[in-house]
Structure 1
Amino acid sequence: MDIKKLTDFFMWCTILNAGFLIYITLMCVFFSNWIYQVQSKWFPISREVFNIVVYAFIGLYKLIFIVFFLVPYLALLTMQ
């Protein structure tokens, strides 16, 4: 596999994961009450715990996105 294909692969991974991160963040900002209502029907969870879990999920996803997709893509761009 050449560096061009690898760069294209990480470019698309970065775009798709960034889009998913933005989508999840916007859903949690604008539809937080609705998401909580749906989830609390399935799992007995308080609002405070729900907020912590959502905040931790978004933070962990952002960290994984940066480390495993954005940084390799930027490194490959730098190498070209």
Structure 2
Amino acid sequence: MEAEEIRKVLGWCSAINLGVLMLWFLVFVFARDFVFRIHTRWFKIAEERFDEIHYTMMGYYKLIVFVFNVIPYLALRIVA
């Protein structure tokens, strides 16, 4: 695979993953109570813990997207 093809794939992966992160954030902001009700049917969890879990996991997801998609994409943009 050529560097240009890898760069394009990483660009699309970055866009898709950042879109997923944005969707997750918007659902959490605008439909938080609905999502909380669904989760409390399956798990016994406090609201504070629910918020903490989502906030933490969004941070981890963003970190992984940047480390494995965005930074390699930018590096290939600079080099190639």
The answer for the alignment partner of 1:20 in structure 2 is 20
- State the number of aligned residues: 80
Following TM superposition, where does structure 1 have runs of at least 4 consecutive aligned residues deviating by more than 3 angstroms?
Answer: none
* Structure 1 residue 41, shift from structure 2 partner: 0.6
Task: State how far apart, in whole Å, the 1-side matches of 2:29 and 2:64 are.
Answer: 21
Q: Which residue of 1 aligns with 2:3?
A: 3
In the alignment, structure 1 residue 68 sits paired with structure 2 residue 30: no
TM-score when scaled to structure 2? Answer: 0.97
Name stretches of at least 5 consecutive residues in structure 2 with no aligned partner.
none
Letter in 2 for 1:55: Y
Show the counterpart of 2:46: 46
- Inter-partner Cα distance in structure 1 for 2:63 and 2:11: 17
SS in 1 for 2:20: helix
SS in 1 for 2:45: coil
Shift of 1:53: 0.4
TM-superposed CA distance for 1:23, in Å, is: 0.4
Q: CA shift at 1:72, angstroms?
A: 0.4
Aligned-partner Cα distance in 2 for 1:4–1:69: 14
In the alignment, the residues of structure 1 paired with residue 27 and residue 2 of structure 2 have an alpha-carbon distance, to the nearest angstrom, of: 38
Q: Distance in 2 between matches of 1:66 and 1:7?
A: 14
Corresponding residue of 2:56: 56
Question: With structure 1 as the length reference, what TM-score do the two structures score?
Answer: 0.97
Percentage identity across paired residues of the two chains: 34
Instruction: Name 2:29's counterpart in structure 1.
Output: 29
